[in-house]
Amino acid sequence: MNELIPTTHNENGEITLSGRGLHEFLEVTERYNSWFDRMLQYGFSREVDFTSVKSFTVVNNGAKRELEDHQIKLDMAKEIAMIQRTEKGKEARQYFLQVEKSWNSPEMIIKRAMDFQNQKILLLETQISEEKPYTDFGKVVAISDGAINVGAFAKLIYEKHAINIGRNKLMQWLRDKGYLIKQGREKNNPKQIYIEQGLFKISPTIISRSEGDVQSSTTLITGKGQIKLMEILLKEVPR
């Protein structure tokens, strides 16, 4: 079937076409905006029967000029064509009926279903590709104890995701975010609430000194904590 008037379809699978394209085909001498406003008096509604869009035309000096246009649904186009009461209007309406018949044929219904399925597959493949680094990282920490110190975590996220924050800046970030205690004897220890949530744990360390052994502690980020913190850092820290 020859395409007398170009058509497309919206996200709901409804056939639409340019209002200016229809105006041109019908050979209406009245200015487009005035003509379209007059057509609206027949009861057509914005966002129901049509949507406003922009189109462009090239003027004499080669520059582009923006024009108001509309994407109108097929039922509206058929009614407008019938209203014209001209041979071009009759031709347009007959053409739209053929377009509608072809669109609703079993072959086209199957094709649209296959196109929709292919789009879903493409979106899924893109999502998997984008999430793969995070997914792989999650698998690594899930199959082991996964608890590492802050310096090791800073190195890990740099190697895996190019998050260049470093140990000291990461410690400051954790304090600023409220995960670690900011001051006092327990400075840089994780707060109890985040230990209970399974994001951190404390590893006691004995330091031998001449005046006697001293117990210290090292903050470790668990596998669960690594995944949660990495997700936040990926959004907040420029790479």
Residue 115: its pLDDT value, please? 72
Q: Torsion angle, CA of 178/182/188/189, rounded to 10 degrees?
A: -70
Residue 47: the pLDDT is 92
- 236 CB burial (10 A radius; 0-12, 13-18, 19+): exposed
Report the distance separating Cα 185 and Cα 197, nearest Å.
23
pLDDT value of position 239: 63
pLDDT at 143: 42
- Residue numbers of the chain with a pLDDT score lower than 70: 1-2, 109, 112-113, 116, 124-125, 127-146, 205-215, 238-239
pLDDT of residue 138: 52
Which residue is it, tokens 């470093």? Answer: 166
What are the phi and psi torsion angles at 4 (to 5°)?
A: -65, -40
CB distance 192 to 183 below 8 Å: no
CA angle centred on 131, ends 127 and 136, rounded to 5°: 140
**So what's the pLDDT on residue 156?**
87
